[in-house]
C-alpha cells in the first residue's frame, strides 16, 4: 500500500513518490491528477521521462501563464535525470510556482539520492510505494483494496486470492476489482476458488498476452491450465478484449508522440505503452477488427450463448493469435 508521509495535501506544491512498485507509483500520480482536475477541469498534465526533461525544460513548463492555468508536471524515474537537470529541479524546489504541482517519481536507493534529500528537505508531500516482496504485505494490500471499495471479504478469501494470483500487484488489484463488480455480499473463499484457484501463471492476463503476441500454442496451453484450475471464462474474454483494444488505441495514436503524452492521452501507464508497442508489431487495422469480433462471439458463448465455453475460448485465442500476424 502507498503510505503517505509529510503533508496530506494532495495538491501540495511537490509530491515525492518513492519506491519501485509501478502500480503504487501510477496511483500516486492519478491521485494528484484527479485532485487537480477536480479543482480545475482544464488542468494541463505533463508526464515526462528523464530523456524528455532536458536542462531548461522545467523552467519552461513552470513559467507563469497569462491565464494562471493549473498544471501538473510528472517526472518519472527522477533518479535517472542528468546532473544539469537535477540542478534545475533543486532550484525549483526552493521556490515552487503557484498553481503547479510537481510530482517526482523516484526509485529510492543511492542513485539520485541528492535529489531525493533535497525534495524531502523542501517539505515535499511523500508517498511511499515500496515493492511488496512479503506475502503479508500483499495480503494487507488485498484487504485494503476491498475495504477501499466498501466491500467485505473474509480473511480466508483474501489469503486464497494471494495464493492464487501470486506476487503481481496489478493482477491482484484487477482480481479485487473483478470480484467487487461480479459478486454481491461478502466475498468468501468459495467465490475466490471458483474464479482463481490454480497457478498464477495460468491467469487470464497471461492467456491474453500470449495471444496478442501471436504465440498461439503457448496461449492455448495457458488457457487450458486456466480452465482446468477454475479461472472464470469471462475473465479470459475480458483480458483478451483489453489486450486487443490497447493495441488498437496505440496503433491509431499519432506517430512520434512521446511515451508520457501517449500514456496521458490513451489512459495507460507508460510501462504498458512500452509493452503494447512490442506486442503490436504484427497487427493491422483489419486484424484488430477481426480479433474483436472473435472475442465478442466468445464472450457471448461463455455467458450462455453457446454449449461449450472452452471451445469458444479456444476459437477466440486462435483468432487473436492469427490476427497478431495479419500485417505483411
Kindly give the confidence (pLDDT) of every residue in the chain, 328 residues in length, as a single tens digit, with 9 standing for 90 and above: 454 444 578 999 999 999 999 899 999 999 999 999 999 998 999 999 898 888 999 999 888 765 667 899 999 999 999 999 999 999 999 999 888 999 999 999 899 999 999 999 999 999 999 988 888 898 999 999 999 999 999 998 998 888 777 778 888 998 899 899 888 999 998 888 777 765 444 468 888 989 999 999 989 988 887 887 677 788 899 889 989 998 998 888 777 666 667 777 777 766 677 778 888 888 999 999 999 999 999 988 888 766 788 899 999 999 999 999 887 5
- C-alpha dihedral over 137, 139, 142, 144, to 10 degrees? -60
pLDDT of residue 113: 94
Residue-level pLDDT at 5 = 47
Q: What pTM was computed for the model?
A: 0.60
Considering only CA atoms, which of 207, 214, 203 is closest in space to residue 280? 214
Cell of 203: 491467469
CA neighbor of 23 nearest in space, from 130, 146, 176: 130
- Asked whether 15 and 103 are in contact (CB, 8 A), the reply is yes
pLDDT of 201: 43
Q: Other CB atoms closer than 10 Å to residue 9's CB: what's the count?
A: 11
Q: Pick the closest to residue 85 from 47, 49, 32 (CA basis).
A: 49
User: Residue 120 in contact with residue 12, Cβ under 8 Å?
Assistant: no
3-state secondary structure of 100: strand
| Alpha helices, DSSP H, located in the chain | 22-39, 57-61, 83-93, 113-121, 135-148, 155-165, 169-182, 189-196, 204-212, 216-228, 233-251, 259-266, 270-279, 285-300, 309-323
Alpha-carbon 35 to chain mean position: 19
Amino acid at each position: 500500500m502507498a503510505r503517505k508521509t509529510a503533508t496530506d495535501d494532495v495538491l501540495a506544491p511537490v509530491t515525492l513518490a518513492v519506491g519501485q512498485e509501478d502500480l503504487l507509483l501510477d496511483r500516486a500520480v492519478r491521485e494528484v491528477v484527479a485532485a487537480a482536475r477536480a479543482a480545475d477541469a482544464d488542468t494541463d498534465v505533463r508526464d515526462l521521462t528523464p530523456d524528455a526533461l532536458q536542462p531548461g525544460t522545467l523552467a519552461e513548463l513552470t513559467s507563469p501563464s497569462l491565464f494562471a492555468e493549473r498544471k501538473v508536471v510528472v517526472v518519472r524515474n527522477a533518479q535517472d535525470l542528468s546532473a544539469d537537470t537535477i540542478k534545475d529541479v533543486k532550484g525549483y524546489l526552493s521556490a515552487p510556482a503557484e498553481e503547479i504541482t510537481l510530482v517526482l517519481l523516484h526509485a529510492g536507493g543511492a542513485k539520485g539520492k541528492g535529489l531525493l534529500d533535497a525534495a524531502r528537505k523542501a517539505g515535499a508531500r511523500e508517498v511511499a510505494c515500496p515493492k511488496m516482496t512479503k506475502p503479508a504485505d500483499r495480503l494487507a494490500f488485498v484487504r485494503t483494496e476491498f475495504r477501499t471499495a466498501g466491500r467485505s471479504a473474509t480473511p480466508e478469501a483474501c489469503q486464497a486470492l494471494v495464493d492464487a494470483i501470486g506476487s503481481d500487484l496489478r493482477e491482484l488489484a484487477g482480481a479485487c476489482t473483478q470480484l467487487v463488480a461480479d459478486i454481491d455480499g461478502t466475498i468468501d473463499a468459495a467465490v475466490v476458488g471458483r474464479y482463481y484457484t490454480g497457478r498464477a501463471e495460468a491467469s487470464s492476463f497471461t492467456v491474453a498476452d500470449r495471444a496478442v503476441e501471436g504465440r498461439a500454442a503457448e496461449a492455448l496451453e495457458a488457457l487450458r491450465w486456466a480452465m482446468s484450475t477454475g479461472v472464470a471464462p469471462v475473465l479470459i474474454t475480458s483480458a483478451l478484449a483489453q489486450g486487443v483494444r490497447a493495441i488498437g488505441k496505440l496503433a491509431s495514436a499519432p506517430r512520434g508522440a512521446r511515451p508520457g503524452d501517449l500514456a496521458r492521452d490513451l489512459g495507460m501507464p507508460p510501462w504498458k505503452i512500452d509493452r503494447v508497442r512490442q506486442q503490436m508489431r504484427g497487427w493491422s487495422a483489419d486484424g484488430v477488427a477481426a480479433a474483436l469480433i472473435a472475442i465478442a462471439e466468445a464472450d457471448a458463448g461463455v455467458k450462455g450463448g453457446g454449449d461449450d465455453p472452452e471451445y469458444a475460448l479456444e476459437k477466440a485465442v486462435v483468432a487473436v493469435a492469427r490476427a497478431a500476424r495479419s500485417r505483411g
